[in-house]
């Protein structure tokens, strides 16, 4: 019998209970033992909830119960999640989490603590919601030298960009629609400014190199400046705009960035619509692989947490290999990242732009008073210098 | 030190040696031990080959060497691969294979044999080439009740259909191009008639239900009857034709089929082009996930075999959970599978067709003397009865 405690009875936590109850037969077949949610820790009471009797308020009751072998930490935020996780792991209780903030901030330390206590710290749900991505990286792509990761890692912004692309909506209207549908929070800053994604790509980058990539070091640009006119140009070019997280190895080390990119119709990421996510991983012998699915949402995220529970249940007393130490990675300078740029300037500055940039293509999307073009491949330092020479740009979007 | 023997020094076998040599540092970091290819078994000699000295001709030398803990079976075909695999597993030597024929025919028995001898029989490379799909199903989607699997599982036919779609080529010309490029074999029957795919979907279906699905029981239709005119109609509808393998649970049990389908632009499988493969898996709480990558080719397939080697090396003396027993699954009748059909009839038979079918849409792709339409959702028995009433059809393609 595997006894589980769920910390935090919010969206994901209640999803974990629901997935375990709904799929109990499948899960027990896969574990080879029965499974039970014994406790649900929350500050609140839930009168009338079918699992009301399992709700407790004292964490010590969980870690002092020798029956508990696995804890699901679905509280989010750094504290008290961090302290609770440390306490459980110190006692040899495995922790499965959806908490990307905590994993991005203290992943290596918590993995080490788990290993020292012959238990596991698992975080499949922290990146890509229900998409299996952490487990494929740790246990499937093991014959590869992974040299780049690129993905759509946030459902909210992808929903907004899909609405802008398909309906010609402006950012503000698309955001409002996303909020009305529950895809975006009242304060959407963490999503639309890319902060959520920077934590996720920090975790993936860390797993690629095995060391610690700090999300605060990652150049991050959100989607708040994308306009309906940008989308018009994108469509004219047969492309769409996606907020991408990219991470790659180069001759000087590792690089990571979060920014809007123009993605062409021939690229598999083009068709990732609405609240779906997808992650591209490139290996030196495998070439491209992609993992696609629901990057957020109660049940998909909970399913990923419960998959970690199954893995922990199959490995009681044994450590699952996760290579991630606390050696800090110095990321290479984002200004050196090379790509083509799509650029819009005032029509008055056309001559200057033609002198300042090597232009490979021009685009006419019927927007008056503008000159729009695609540059050669260049780094951001060179781009900024040229932009000054042509009297400033209306917008610039990177291209993959 | 992990010592490996490779059986068969053909395309995949030589790829396995190349992947291990190329990525030795990465692989050893992931195993936590050094790795060496000690023997390569082949009937032939390879004078001048850099690994010439490892080539041997006597299998007993491998299984009688106590240093060997893992064998890579990349011979293909049933014999002698079957006997060699049995001998290795009986001695507690794990076997990693790319051999879908053998897995589809004897998977449950060989898994059981491995478990009885505290070793592992692994077959990631048998489906989807380099795409991690077996491992996600066995160890990542473990919280799910998987209710359907659908995929493009053959690179040759997908390449041919991509050429037909993009260049308007006829089947024979596209096949010739695929043969010239090495994507199709001289005798392309196993690929173009769908036999290769039926083995792969049999393996995936078996893993979904945990029992044995015999590939010979799967209704299988290839792509040899697809014409340039069919493609014209598909394009007119904003769709493309893909050879899909589908497998799903229904109220009467399980169902599987291999057949060409019309796939719309909004579907993620639409953009799977050339020799790429993709597999869609639907779970009851996770919704859709998709896995995409190179479904064939020397190095991608070899990378999947070596990922199995890493897994075996991490589990020496322990069994990795694979739930697949030999209880035979009785598949439900393919004639009962319901879908819309795209149908072409002679223009002379238009009145009869309109009387025989409930038509939901008509299509004009500029092909003279024809009437083309889309039917309501119906099963194949009803379709065949209606087809007779309208004087026979020129072509019919299922739609998803």
Pairing label, strands A121-122, A94-97: parallel
Token reading at B115: 């478990």
Which chain B residues contact residue A286 at CB under 8 A? Answer: 130, 293-294, 299-300, 303
The mean per-residue pLDDT over the stretch B363-376 comes to: 97
Distance CA A242, CA A239 (A): 10
Q: How large a percentage of chain A has pLDDT more than 90?
A: 96
User: Could you tell me which residues come within 8 angstroms of residue A267 by beta carbon, excluding any fewer than 6 positions away?
Assistant: A400
Distance CA B284, CA B291 (A): 17
Which chain A residues contact residue B283 at CB under 8 A? Answer: 303
Distance CA A189, CA A387 (A): 28
- Interface contact flag, A130 B287, Cβ < 8 Å: yes
Which chain B residues contact residue A305 at CB under 8 A? Answer: 143
Any chain B CB within 8 A of the CB of A23?
Answer: yes
Which pLDDT band, with edges at 50, 70 and 90, does B309 fall under?
very high
* Cis ω before B80 (30° cut-off from 0): yes
The 10 Å CB-count burial string (b at 16+, else e) for B348-367 is ebeebbeebbeeeeebebeb
- Interface contact flag, A29 B210, Cβ < 8 Å: yes
- Interface contact flag, B304 A210, Cβ < 8 Å: no
Any chain A CB within 8 A of the CB of B144?
Answer: yes
Any chain A CB within 8 A of the CB of B317?
Answer: no
- Residue B277 confidence (pLDDT): 97
Angstroms from A209 CA to nearest CA on chain B: 10
User: How many CB atoms lie under 10 A from the CB of residue A138?
Assistant: 18
DSSP-assigned beta bridge partners for residue B328: B212
- Residue B266 confidence (pLDDT): 85
Distance CA B62, CA B59 (A): 5
Q: Mean pLDDT across chain A, nearest whole number?
A: 96
pLDDT digits (tens, 9 = 90+) for A93-112: 999 999 999 999 999 999 99
- Distance set, CA A162 to CA A172, A236, A273, B18, B319 (Å): 13, 16, 6, 42, 45
Residue B80 phi, psi (nearest 5): -85, 10
- Do residues B151 and B280 make contact, with C-beta atoms less than 8 angstroms apart? yes
Test the B interface: residue of A72, A150, A285 with most B CBs within 10 Å = A285
Any chain A CB within 8 A of the CB of B273?
Answer: yes
**Nearest to B278, CA basis, from B151, B157, B191:** B151
Is the Cα dihedral B188, B191, B194, B200 positive or negative?
A: positive
Pick the residue from chain B with its C-alpha nearest to A304: B143
User: How many CB atoms lie under 10 A from the CB of residue A380?
Assistant: 20
Distance CA A256, CA A249 (A): 9
Distance CA B19, CA B38 (A): 15
Pairing label, strands B146-152, B276-283: antiparallel
Q: Is the pTM higher than 0.90? A: yes
Token reading at A390: 């042509």
- Residue B183 confidence (pLDDT): 85
Note the ipTM here. Answer: 0.94
User: How many CB atoms lie under 10 A from the CB of residue B189?
Assistant: 12
- Interface contact flag, A290 B293, Cβ < 8 Å: yes
Which chain A residues contact residue B135 at CB under 8 A? Answer: 135-136, 139-140
The mean per-residue pLDDT over the stretch A121-126 comes to: 98
Q: How many CB pairs under 8 A join A and B?
A: 183
A266 pLDDT more than 90: no
Token reading at A148: 């780049």
- Interface contact flag, A302 B285, Cβ < 8 Å: yes
Q: For residue A288, give the nearest of B145, B268, B293 by CB distance.
A: B293
Query: Which residue bears the tokens 């959702």?
Result: B377
Distance CA A145, CA B284 (A): 34
B216 pLDDT more than 90: yes
- Interface contact flag, B27 A131, Cβ < 8 Å: no
Distance CA A112, CA A188 (A): 34
Any chain A CB within 8 A of the CB of B19?
Answer: yes
A80 pLDDT more than 90: yes
- Residue B182 confidence (pLDDT): 84
Angstroms from B152 CA to nearest CA on chain A: 14
Any chain A CB within 8 A of the CB of B292?
Answer: yes
User: Could you tell me which residues come within 8 angstroms of residue B381 by beta carbon, excluding any fewer than 6 positions away?
Assistant: B335, B336
Q: How large a percentage of chain A has pLDDT more than 70?
A: 100
- Interface contact flag, A140 B132, Cβ < 8 Å: yes
Which pLDDT band, with edges at 50, 70 and 90, does A160 fall under?
very high
- Residue A191 confidence (pLDDT): 96
B298 pLDDT more than 90: yes
- Do residues B111 and B322 make contact, with C-beta atoms less than 8 angstroms apart? yes
- Interface contact flag, B286 A294, Cβ < 8 Å: yes
- Residue B249 confidence (pLDDT): 95
Q: For residue B289, give the nearest of A131, A139, A266 by CB distance.
A: A131
The secondary structure element, H or E, covering residue B159 is helix B155-167
DSSP-assigned beta bridge partners for residue A259: A244
Any chain A CB within 8 A of the CB of B285?
Answer: yes
Which pLDDT band, with edges at 50, 70 and 90, does A183 fall under?
confident
- Do residues B158 and B243 make contact, with C-beta atoms less than 8 angstroms apart? yes
Test the B interface: residue of A6, A142, A209, A275 with most B CBs within 10 Å = A142
Which pLDDT band, with edges at 50, 70 and 90, does A21 fall under?
very high
Angstroms from A374 CA to nearest CA on chain B: 25
Token reading at B245: 């393998």
- Interface contact flag, B292 A288, Cβ < 8 Å: yes
**Nearest to B203, CA basis, from B128, B302, B261:** B128
The mean per-residue pLDDT over the stretch B98-120 comes to: 98
Any chain A CB within 8 A of the CB of B23?
Answer: yes
DSSP code for B1: -
Which pLDDT band, with edges at 50, 70 and 90, does B118 fall under?
very high
Q: How large a percentage of chain B has pLDDT more than 90?
A: 96
Any chain A CB within 8 A of the CB of B187?
Answer: no
The mean per-residue pLDDT over the stretch A180-193 comes to: 92
Any chain A CB within 8 A of the CB of B387?
Answer: no
Which pLDDT band, with edges at 50, 70 and 90, does A182 fall under?
confident
* Cis ω before A80 (30° cut-off from 0): yes
- Do residues A133 and A204 make contact, with C-beta atoms less than 8 angstroms apart? yes
Which chain A residues contact residue B270 at CB under 8 A? Answer: 271
Which pLDDT band, with edges at 50, 70 and 90, does A329 fall under?
very high
Angstroms from A399 CA to nearest CA on chain B: 19
Test the B interface: residue of A6, A140, A294 with most B CBs within 10 Å = A140
- Do residues A359 and A345 make contact, with C-beta atoms less than 8 angstroms apart? no
The A residues from 72 to 101 touching B (CB cutoff 8 Å) are: none
The mean per-residue pLDDT over the stretch A316-335 comes to: 96
- Do residues A71 and A95 make contact, with C-beta atoms less than 8 angstroms apart? yes
Pick the residue from chain A with its C-alpha nearest to B271: A268
B61: exposed, middle or buried (Cβ count in 10 Å: 0-12, 13-18, 19+):
middle
Radius of gyration of chain B (CA): 23
- Residue B42 confidence (pLDDT): 98
pLDDT digits (tens, 9 = 90+) for B381-390: 999 999 999 9
Please identify every residue of B annotated as catalytic: 200
- Interface contact flag, B286 A271, Cβ < 8 Å: no
Token reading at B266: 């909004």
The mean per-residue pLDDT over the stretch B250-278 comes to: 94
Secondary structure E strands in chain B: 2-7, 35-41, 55-56, 68-73, 94-97, 121-122, 146-152, 219-220, 239-250, 253-264, 276-283, 287-294, 340-346, 359-363, 370-375, 395-399
B197: exposed, middle or buried (Cβ count in 10 Å: 0-12, 13-18, 19+):
buried
- Residue B149 confidence (pLDDT): 97
3-state helix, strand, coil in chain A (%, to 5): 40, 25, 35
Token reading at B214: 């015999």
Q: Which of A200, A232, A236, A336 is catalytic?
A: A200
- Residue B296 confidence (pLDDT): 87
């Amino acid at each position: 019998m595997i006894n589980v405690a769920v910390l935090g009875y919010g969206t994901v936590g209640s999803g974990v209970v629901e997935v375990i109850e709904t799929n109990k037969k499948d899960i027990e077949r896969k574990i080879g033992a029965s499974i039970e949610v014994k406790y649900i820790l929350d500050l609140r009471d839930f009168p009338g909830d079918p699992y009301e009797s399992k709700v407790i308020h004292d964490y010590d009751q969980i870690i002092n119960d020798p029956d508990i072998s696995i804890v699901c930490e679905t509280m989010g935020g750094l504290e008290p999640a961090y302290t609770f996780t440390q306490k459980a792991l110190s006692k040899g209780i495995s922790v499965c989490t959806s908490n990307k903030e905590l994993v991005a901030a203290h992943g290596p330390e918590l993995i080490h603590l788990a290993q020292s206590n012959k238990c596991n710290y698992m975080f499949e749900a922290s990146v890509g919601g229900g998409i299996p991505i952490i487990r494929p990286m740790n246990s499937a792509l093991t014959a590869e030298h992974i040299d780049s990761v690129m993905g759509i890692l946030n459902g909210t912004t992808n929903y907004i960009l899909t609405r802008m692309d398909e309906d010609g909506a402006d950012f503000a209207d698309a955001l409002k629609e996303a909020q009305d549908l529950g895809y975006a929070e009242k304060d959407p800053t963490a999503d639309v400014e890319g902060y959520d994604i920077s934590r996720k790509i920090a975790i993936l980058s860390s797993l690629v190199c095995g060391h610690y990539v700090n999300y605060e070091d990652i150049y991050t640009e959100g989607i708040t400046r994308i306009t309906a006119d940008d989308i018009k140009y994108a469509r004219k070019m047969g492309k769409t705009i996606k907020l991408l997280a990219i991470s790659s190895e180069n001759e000087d080390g590792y690089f990571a960035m979060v920014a809007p990119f123009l993605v062409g119709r021939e690229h598999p990421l083009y068709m990732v619509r609405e609240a779906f996510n997808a992650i591209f991983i490139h290996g030196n012998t495998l070439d491209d692989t992609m993992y696609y699915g629901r990057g957020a949402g109660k049940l998909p995220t909970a399913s990923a947490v419960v998959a970690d529970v199954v893995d922990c249940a199959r490995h009681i007393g044994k450590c699952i290999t996760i290579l991630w130490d606390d050696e800090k990675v110095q990321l290479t300078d984002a200004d050196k990242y090379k790509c083509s740029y799509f650029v819009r300037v005032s029509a008055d500055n056309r001559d200057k732009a033609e002198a300042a940039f090597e232009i490979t293509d021009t685009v006419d999307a019927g927007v008056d008073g503008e000159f729009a073009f695609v540059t050669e491949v260049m780094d951001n330092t060179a781009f900024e210098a040229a932009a000054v020479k042509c009297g400033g740009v209306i917008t610039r979007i990177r291209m993959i």
